[in-house]
Amino acid sequence: MSHHIVEAGDLHYIYPDGTVGLNGVSFRITHGESVALVGENGAGKSTLLLHMNGYLSATQGGMRIGDFLVSPASLNTVRRSVGMVFQNSDDQLFMPTVFEDVAFGPMNLGLEKEELERKVMEALDTVGAAHLKNRPPYRLSQGEKRSVAIATVLAMSPDILVMDEPTSSLDPTSRVRLIELLKTFSHTKIIATHDLDMAMDLCERTIVLHQGRITADGPTMQLFQDEALLHGSNLEKPLRMQGCPICGLSESGKKEV
């Protein structure tokens, strides 16, 4: 299943105004892996994600999705296998009703009638949003919008899910529900986030970006214990790994000194 591999080879990207977005990024993510992409604002997370669907093309180096090098010629194939969930769900939900929105992708792929209906309802059922199908997207709560946005992507049956800040602007309950949902997916997942607690829950591997470079790439638990690394990248230990200011215990049960 080489489809599910995401590989970046020495990616450089310089924005037209001269800002350096990426400065030599290389990694290889294999089938079924779940990877968190963390880093401060402006570290290059979103820039990197936009290379995965070919929206930006590297000034130097290249991105491979499965067997294809991302290029204008392979865009359609690449975009079919990479499902991208945007940070702002309002940008992703543009059709009059939820059903039509989820059906937008499959219809473009040529599905019709019963098959289309089945696909759409399957995706909506997966995210628990089947009851919203006739509602206009702008009337939904943020949590519902996020679920529907994920359904729109699932309906395309992608191999790889790319998510930009999926837990931002969600209330705690919706956040937990989303994490539980994402746990059930077997896709290759790449999640750009500031929510390190979620990264701990979902991703066994983490890539730390800082000023357009990868400063660390390894097992999540190990990286998050490296305070010098986190501090250098303007990040903070996940709350769960910090000592409780009241009882002085962290989740590991170890007494903080």
Q: Looking at beta carbons only, is 138 or 242 nearer to other proteins?
A: 138
Q: What is the crossing angle of helices 142-154 and 98-108, to 10°? A: 20
Q: Which is nearer to other proteins, 113 or 228 (CB)?
A: 113
CA dist., res. 133 & res. 148, Å (int):
9
Cβ–Cβ < 8 Å for 45, 39: yes
What the block records as the tokens of 123 is 């995706």
Of 15 and 94, the one with the shorter C-beta distance to other proteins is: 94
Q: How far is the CB of 107 from other proteins (least distance, A)?
A: 5
CB nearer to other proteins: pick between 96 and 128: 96
Cβ distance to other proteins smaller for residue 84 or 192: 84
Shortest distance (Å) from residue 165 CB to other proteins: 14
Rounded least distance, CB 250 to other proteins, Å: 39
Distances (CA, A) of 194 to 45, 81, 92: 10, 25, 21
Q: Residues 32, 222: contact at Cβ < 8 Å?
A: no
* Residue 235 one-letter amino acid: L
Distance CA(205)–CA(15), nearest Å, equals 28
Least distance in Å: CB of 13 to other proteins? 16
Give the strands of the sheet with 205-210, arranged side by side: 82-85, 160-164, 188-192, 34-38, 205-210, 213-219
Instruction: Give whichever of 14 and 111 is closer to other proteins, judged by the CB atom.
Output: 111
Q: Which residues bind other proteins (CB under 8 A)?
A: 53, 55, 76, 79-80, 82-84, 86, 88, 90-92, 94-97, 99-100, 103-105, 107-109, 116, 136, 138-139, 152-153, 156
- Residues whose CB is less than 8 angstroms from the CB of residue 52 and which lie 6 or more positions away in sequence, other chains included: 6, 63, 65, 70, 82, 84, 160, 162, 190
Measured from the CB atom, the residue of 68 and 104 that comes closer to other proteins is: 104
Q: How far is the CB of 3 from other proteins (least distance, A)?
A: 17
Closest distance of CB 136 from other proteins, Å: 6
Least distance CB 23 / other proteins (angstroms): 23
Using DSSP's 3-state secondary structure scheme, residue 104 falls into helix
Q: Which amino acid is residue 128, in one-letter code? A: G
